[in-house]
């Protein structure tokens, strides 16, 4: 969220300029959205219930409510409004920006005053993630923070590819806002999402990650598909319990390596000359002490995963247990 705020600073500044203009010159407020709005634009007391929701009611709910809302967005649910607000789609749509479907679609544009209210509300709101209370993992849900982000960071957002410094094709795949703003995800529609197309491409000249890097596994592709289909939310969950007793290579270690390390550590270009693409190579790095040094962020080792969040304490304990057991291939 911090990054989102920083990225929004220029926007906030523009809004500020606009708001000042709005306050000083209320009589000049253009009002192409219809004659019903008052001429004076109240941008001081902007709240969701008092300012934003009435606009949605008047101009949006006719299509975005009920059992089958347009674009799967039901703006009677705060979560759906928060989702498009957070992702930038809401402002893009009502400002009729390029790359967004203009909303409302009828050719009418909201008045500048109403757009300013959305801008102020979004600027002043810290959008919490869905379900802030109980976040235990639902096996039928794919979570961005747990599964998708680490995968994209290690397979796509690596230095020299889709990182903020390089940004091949201006597509940055290192955090939620960058990912959503890259235009490669259509929430709810994986088939219409360039990201999904690229990772499932058959043509070796087009597939991502490009050879000689390994393609994503069938499970990883399926996870991306499902995450987009479920709305491409910025969600996370807490792993229910940490099983540090039944630790095996195939069910515990390998999935973590695949999700968090493999993208940077496979093939002839494996980063740091460290291959983590099969049991033998992983066991070798583990037995050299470098694996634990790196994931524990010990002094003298490059902290891993590079540029990503540290592995959970649970995962670190599991790796240690597997090594203490003699790195079995089980
Ligand atoms: C007449 C019906 C209708 C009205 C009224 C309407 N929408 Fe939509 N909205 C749609 C449809 C249809 C789509 C899907 C468009 C697409 O995918 O190209 C959509 C998509 C969207 C999206 C996703 C945009 C994108 O770029 O993918 C947002 C955000 C949105 N609407 C917001 C709003 C807001 C805010 C209002 C009111 C100011 C509104 N809509 C009013 C029909 C409507
Ligand atoms: C975004 C790419 C990226 C990801 C993801 C990544 N690594 Fe690395 N890794 C690197 C780079 C680059 C180096 C070389 C760093 C250096 O030498 O400063 C490296 C070096 C290492 C080293 C050698 C460290 C040392 O100081 O001896 C180990 C061990 C390692 N990685 C393990 C892992 C493990 C385990 C994971 C997953 C939990 C992981 N890496 C995830 C890029 C990555």
Compute CA 169 distance to the chain's CA centroid, rounded to the nearest angstrom: 19
How do residues 199-229 score in pLDDT, each as one tens digit? Answer: 888 888 877 877 777 788 899 999 999 999 9
Pocket test of ligand 2: the residue of 153, 257, 274 to mutate, having most ligand atoms within 8 Å of its CB, is 274
CA distance 177 to 1: 9
Ligand 1 center from residue 17 Cα (angstroms):
27
Question: 13 exposed, middle or buried (CB, 10 Å; 0-12, 13-18, 19+)?
Answer: exposed
CA distance 54 to 65: 14
The answer to whether 266 touches 277, Cβ cutoff 8 Å, is yes
Q: What integer pLDDT is reported at residue 53 of this predicted model?
A: 93
Q: What integer pLDDT is reported at residue 278 of this predicted model?
A: 94
Compute CA 77 distance to the chain's CA centroid, rounded to the nearest angstrom: 20
Ligand nearest the Cα of residue 121 is 1
Q: What integer pLDDT is reported at residue 202 of this predicted model?
A: 85
Name the residue with tokens 């920006």. 97
Segments in the chain below pLDDT 70: 1-39, 126-135, 156-174, 239-240, 307-308
Q: Sort residue 65 into left (φ over 0), alpha (ψ -120 to 50) or beta.
A: beta
The answer to whether 194 touches 188, Cβ cutoff 8 Å, is no
CA distance 92 to 265: 38
Nearest to 208 by CA among 224, 188, 186, 226: 224
What are the tokens at 269?
Answer: 């270009």
Nearest to 227 by CA among 182, 264, 193, 256: 193
Question: 5 exposed, middle or buried (CB, 10 Å; 0-12, 13-18, 19+)?
Answer: exposed
Q: Sort residue 289 into left (φ over 0), alpha (ψ -120 to 50) or beta.
A: left
CA distance 258 to 240: 21
The answer to whether 208 touches 162, Cβ cutoff 8 Å, is no
Nearest to 112 by CA among 45, 193, 23: 23
Ligand 2 atom closest to 154 (CA): 5
Does the CB atom of residue 274 touch ligand 2 within 6 A? yes
Does the CB atom of residue 162 touch ligand 2 within 6 A? no
The answer to whether 114 touches 33, Cβ cutoff 8 Å, is yes
> Is the dihedral angle over the CA atoms 92, 93, 95, 99 positive or is it negative?
positive
Using CB distances shorter than 6 Å, the residues near ligand 1 are 59-60, 62-64, 70-71, 73, 84, 89-90, 93-94, 100-101, 103-106, 110
The answer to whether 142 touches 221, Cβ cutoff 8 Å, is no
The answer to whether 305 touches 311, Cβ cutoff 8 Å, is yes
For residue 32, what are the CA distances in angstroms to 35, 42, 110, 112, 210? 8, 17, 7, 8, 49
**Rg of the Cα trace of the chain?**
23
């Amino acid at each position: 969220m911090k990054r989102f705020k920083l990225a929004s600073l220029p926007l906030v500044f523009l809004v500020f300029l606009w708001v000042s203009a709005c306050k000083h010159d209320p009589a000049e407020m253009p009002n192409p959205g219809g004659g019903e709005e008052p001429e004076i634009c109240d941008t001081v007391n902007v709240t969701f219930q008092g300012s934003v929701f009435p606009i949605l009611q008047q101009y949006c709910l006719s299509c975005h409510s009920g059992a089958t809302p347009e674009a799967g967005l039901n703006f009677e649910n705060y979560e759906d409004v928060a989702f498009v607000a957070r992702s930038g789609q809401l402002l893009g749509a009502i400002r009729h920006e390029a790359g967004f479907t203009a909303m409302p679609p009828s050719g009418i544009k909201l008045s500048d005053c109403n757009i300013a209210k959305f801008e102020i509300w979004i600027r002043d709101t810290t959008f919490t993630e869905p379900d802030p209370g109980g976040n235990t993992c639902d096996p039928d849900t794919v979570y961005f923070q747990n599964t998708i982000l680490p995968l994209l960071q290690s397979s796509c957002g690596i230095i020299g590819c889709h990182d903020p410094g390089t940004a091949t094709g201006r597509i940055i795949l290192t955090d939620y806002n960058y990912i959503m703003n890259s235009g490669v995800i259509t929430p709810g529609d994986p088939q219409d999402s360039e990201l999904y197309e690229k990772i499932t491409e058959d043509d070796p000249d087009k597939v991502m990650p490009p050879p000689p890097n390994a393609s994503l596994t069938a499970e990883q592709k399926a996870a991306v598909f499902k995450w987009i289909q479920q709305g491409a939310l910025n969600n996370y969950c807490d792993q229910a319990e940490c099983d540090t007793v039944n630790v095996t290579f195939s069910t515990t270690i390998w999935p973590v390596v695949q999700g968090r390390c493999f993208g940077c550590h496979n093939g002839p270009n494996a980063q740091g000359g460290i291959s983590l693409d099969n049991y033998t190579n992983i066991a070798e790095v583990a037995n050299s002490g470098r694996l634990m040094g790196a994931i524990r962020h010990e002094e003298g080792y490059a902290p891993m995963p590079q540029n990503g969040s540290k592995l959970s304490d649970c995962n670190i304990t599991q790796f240690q247990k597997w090594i203490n057991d003699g790195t079995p291939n089980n």
